Amino acid sequence: MLTNDLLLRALLRQRVDRTPVWMMRQAGRYLPEYRATRARAGSFLKLCMTPELACEVTLQPLARYPLDAAILFSDILTIPHALGLGLQFETGEGPRIERPVRSLAEVQRLGVPDPEVELRYVMDAVRLIRRELNGRVPLIGFAGSPWTVATYIVEGGSSREFSTIKRMLYEEEHTLHALLELLANSTREYLNAQIASGAQAIMIFDTWGGILTPGQYRTFSLNYMSRILQGLKRENDGRRVPIILFTKGGGAWLRSMCETGCDALGIDWTTDLGDARRAVNDQVALQGNLDPNCLYASPARIREEVARVLESYGPGHGHVFNLGHGIHPAIAPEHAGAMIAAVHELSPKYHRKEGDRG
Amino acid sequence: MLTNDLLLRALLRQRVDRTPVWMMRQAGRYLPEYRATRARAGSFLKLCMTPELACEVTLQPLARYPLDAAILFSDILTIPHALGLGLQFETGEGPRIERPVRSLAEVQRLGVPDPEVELRYVMDAVRLIRRELNGRVPLIGFAGSPWTVATYIVEGGSSREFSTIKRMLYEEEHTLHALLELLANSTREYLNAQIASGAQAIMIFDTWGGILTPGQYRTFSLNYMSRILQGLKRENDGRRVPIILFTKGGGAWLRSMCETGCDALGIDWTTDLGDARRAVNDQVALQGNLDPNCLYASPARIREEVARVLESYGPGHGHVFNLGHGIHPAIAPEHAGAMIAAVHELSPKYHRKEGDRG
């Protein structure tokens, strides 16, 4: 049913004839067509919550570039919004949670949202995007990790120091565990509903796992991602739905991340892809890991860095090309195009059959 | 000459009977006496540039706590200031460089500052602090790494994305190398002057090395720290002056950091101290690594975490207890005291002679 299934094959370490490529935040502010739709929507939240508009921006990068995947346009804070915590996006300020959760009593008041009720707009977007994609490329669904979403819920928004949630971690561990369990259950339901609605791969974004000590990471982040994974129905249209885990700054913890049973790991730019591949011993696929700042450079320089990333992974399947984090809003769209073109041009040689290799 | 030389002995992996302890930013805003002196000075820069006041705040934490080291009160941006680039500290905004450096011509206009002229106020502070310390504990001098200082000089201040310097890295590598070389030469002269003025140990703060790819880290950060190290006169009063390198987020690069010939490595809280010790194979001492956010917890909880950090390093010398990064301004002074007391209480058992161990 899929015209291009390179992404799904690479995530399962199956044979591909070139490295598939997509970009985190590919539907985003660097595209003038996105900014136009965003202006029409009136607010970021309105854009997320209107399935027709979310679908429109999801498809925009695919109209411009030969990408191998679409990713649902949404936000990792849809769950706090569905929990009734009051989500606001203030211009230049980042997200704000109006009613932060800081006590056990506050956690106990919360219930797992019904994805087809409070998060219906996401499921409608997934169904609409699948229909509009019409099998061209797979659709990736996603959610934030419980730990990462909890940082916003407890801090009341973005943070630099994460002092409030860290204080909870040290002083009120059971409150934090109760919140993380609620978020893990909510996220499992949410992702299963995305899969049932048509998501063909899933990515879990653990943006803030990297601020933890190794022991805290296992207890408060990895543990809950692992529980989600164990509860996911990993099939859609008779095909396996691969799961990608991405902990930014988690380069030291790749082996333990594998043990969750995920299919692939996202790798930021601070870890060498060859080292990461050796660390996981080809047990899972790897996605990444071009420095997002590299896209400020000239197309010729971008091509060199794409070559370096491909070479660091080396011959063999199981690599999905991506940035090491989301594309910056100030990147020129032609520079993203240069990256994608370079992957198309330079990656086939890493996928030739043994006998073919020059 | 030193009443307490635990720090110097531990940094050289010599025998000590308990683990020495100090805190990054121990002379800082969490102390009411610091805030009083800072208010008297009128500005942060004035405080740094007035030797009597810099000496006063350097000594404040020693009057309060049984610390094993003093660290010069200063800033990593004294060199850009000495280069005439215009340094401002705006309240709540962080540092600002008025004349950022972004072209080769701009780099070539700069000359290595004479530490006894443009940075005389620092040397006067070092001499005054040594006199006032009168051998109680050693004095640590410091500087920022060339890469870290360059991020401020090129970006024009603090940054989240580091896009301007990354663009330079990708597009104008020779400009960046010229700037880093100037900074390495300036820093070598600066640190040698600190040693000549009385600094008994040196720490190089590479706060932003961790935002680089592994290859970029070697080329643009480690390489220049290594050059500085090779040019340092590592002796004072007939004793070796140990050098500590600290790359925040550099947990994956500890082995290559050892190869610079430094004596010790700073370890942030995202790396387990036992893993770090195994990685460097006891070639160097380790300094760290309590999560600075832990000091928001209760004294009892702080004691538990101190115990965990001591246990993760394990028996044997070569550990200097510290936070994994600077102490936060909102920490209650009694909580810092609880940490220091716990190190005094709990660390001796890790230093007993073989036969003594219980």
Q: How many percent of chain B have pLDDT more than 90?
A: 96
Residue of B273, B9, B296 lying closest to A215 (CA atoms): B273
pLDDT tens sequence for chain A (358 residues) = 899 999 999 999 999 999 999 999 999 999 999 999 999 999 999 999 999 999 999 999 999 999 999 999 999 999 999 999 999 998 777 899 999 999 999 999 999 999 999 999 999 999 999 999 999 999 999 999 999 999 999 999 999 899 999 999 999 999 999 999 999 999 999 999 999 999 999 999 999 999 999 999 999 999 999 999 999 999 988 999 999 999 999 999 999 999 999 999 999 999 999 999 999 999 999 999 999 999 999 999 999 999 999 999 999 999 999 999 999 999 999 999 999 999 999 999 999 976 554 4
Which pLDDT does position B354 carry in this prediction? 61
Contact predicate A119/A193, CB 8 Å:
yes
Query: What does the alpha-carbon distance between residue A288 and residue B121 come to, in Å, rounded to a whole number?
Result: 48
How many domains does chain B contain in total?
A: 1
CA B208 to centroid of chain Cα atoms:
13
Pairing type for strands A139-144 and B70-71 reads: unpaired
Pairwise CA distance, residues A78 & A73, whole Å: 11
Residue of A nearest to B163 (CA): A293
As a whole number of angstroms, the longest Cα–Cα distance in chain A is 65
Q: A123 and A115 in contact (C-beta within 8 Å)?
A: yes
What integer pLDDT is reported at residue A125 of this predicted model?
98
Q: How large is the average pLDDT for residues B237-256?
A: 96
User: What's the 3-state SS for B47-96?
Assistant: HHHCHHHHHHHHHHHHHHCCCCCEECCCCCCHHHHHCCCCEEEECCCEEE
Using CB atoms, pick whichever of B161, B216, B297 lies closest to residue A167. B297
Q: What is d(CA A232, CA A241) in angstroms, rounded to the nearest whole number?
A: 9
| A1 in any annotated domain | no
Cis peptide before A289 (omega within 30 of 0): yes
Q: Which residues of B touch A297 (CB under 8 A)?
A: 167, 170-171
In this complex, the residue of A171, A270, A293 whose CB is nearest that of residue B166 is A293
- The rounded mean pLDDT for chain B is 96
The pairing of strands B94-97 and B87-90 is: antiparallel
User: Is the CB of B171 less than 8 angstroms away from the CB of A298?
Assistant: yes
What DSSP state is assigned to residue A191?
A: H
CB proximity B299 to A under 8 Å: no
What pLDDT was estimated at residue B358? 40
Residue A171, chain B, CB below 8 Å: the answer is yes
- Using the beta-carbon criterion (under 8 Å), do B161 and A328 form an inter-chain contact? yes
Q: Are A219 and A145 in contact (CB under 8 A)?
A: no
Token digits of residue A164? 């409030």
Give every CB contact of residue B134 below 8 A, 6+ residues apart in sequence.
Answer: none
Please tell me if residue B160 touches chain A, with a CB cutoff of 8 Å: no
Q: Does B92 touch chain A (CB under 8 A)?
A: no
Of A170, A272, A296, the CB nearest to B166: A296
For the stretch B38-70, pLDDT in tens is 999 999 999 999 999 999 999 999 999 999 999
Hey, is the C-beta of B275 within 8 angstroms of any chain A C-beta? yes
Pairing, β B70-71 against β B139-144: parallel
Q: CATH no. for residue A260?
A: 3.20.20.210
Structure confidence at residue A354 (pLDDT): 61
List, in sequence order, every beta strand (DSSP E) within chain B. Answer: 70-71, 87-90, 94-97, 139-144, 201-206, 235-236, 239-240, 243-247, 264-267, 285-290, 319-323
Q: What is the pLDDT of residue A316?
A: 95
H or E stretch including A144?
strand A139-144
**Ramachandran category for residue B301: left, alpha or beta (phi over 0 → left; psi -120 to 50 → alpha):** alpha
What the block records as the tokens of A231 is 């509860």
In a domain, B1, yes or no: no
Active-site annotation of A, residues: 25, 29, 38, 75, 152
Helix or strand or coil: residue A97? strand
pLDDT of residue A237: 85
Average pLDDT over residues B304-329: 97
CB–CB of B240/B264 below 8 Å?
Answer: no
Q: Suggest the residue from B158, B294, B296, B304 to mutate for an interface test with chain A (most A CBs closer than 10 A).
A: B296
Question: Which residue of chain A comes nearest to B268, CA vs CA?
Answer: A213
Inter-chain residue contact B167 with A305, CB threshold 8 Å: no
Cross-strand pairs, A94: A90
- Find the residue in A nearest to B212 (Cα): A270
The mean pLDDT of B166-175, rounded to a whole number, is 97
Q: What are phi and psi of A78, to 5 degrees?
A: -65, -35
Residue B278's nearest CA partner among B246, B255, B304 is: B255
Q: Is residue B98 part of a domain?
A: yes
List the structure tokens of B206.
Answer: 């590479």
Beta bridge partners of A243: A202
Q: In whole angstroms, what is the distance from residue A152 CA to residue A205 CA?
A: 14
Beta strand pairing status for A139-144 and A70-71?
parallel
pLDDT exceeds 50 at position B357: no
Tokens of B38: 């800072």
What value does the mean pLDDT take over residues B89-99? 87
- Contact criterion met (CB < 8 Å) for B296 and A163: yes
Long-range contacts at A113-120 (CB < 8 A, ≥ 24 apart): A113/A79, A113/A82, A113/A83, A113/A186, A113/A189, A113/A190, A114/A189, A115/A189, A115/A190, A115/A192, A115/A193, A115/A194, A116/A193, A118/A82, A119/A78, A119/A79, A119/A82, A119/A190, A119/A193
DSSP string of B145-171, one letter each residue: -HHHHHHHHHHTB--SS-HHHHHHHHH
- Establish if A105 belongs to a structural domain: yes
How far CA B335 is from CA of A106, B266, B298, in Å, comes to: 28, 22, 7
**Enclosing domain of residue A118:** 6-356
Establish if A175 belongs to a structural domain.
yes
Task: Label residues B290-327 b or e (16+ Cβ within 10 Å = b).
Answer: bbbbbbbbeeebbbebbeebbebbeeebbbbbbbbbbb
Tell me the pLDDT tens digit for each residue of B9-18: 999 999 999 9
Residues on chain B touching A30 (C-beta within 8 angstroms): none
- Taking alpha carbons only, the member of B87, B73, B88, B163 closest to residue B121 is B73
Q: Is the dihedral of CA B322, B323, B326, B332 positive or negative?
A: negative
Say which residues have a Cβ less than 8 Å from residue A90's Cβ, sequence separation at least 6.
A96
* DSSP at B252: G
Amino acid A59 reads L
Give the three-state DSSP class for A317: coil
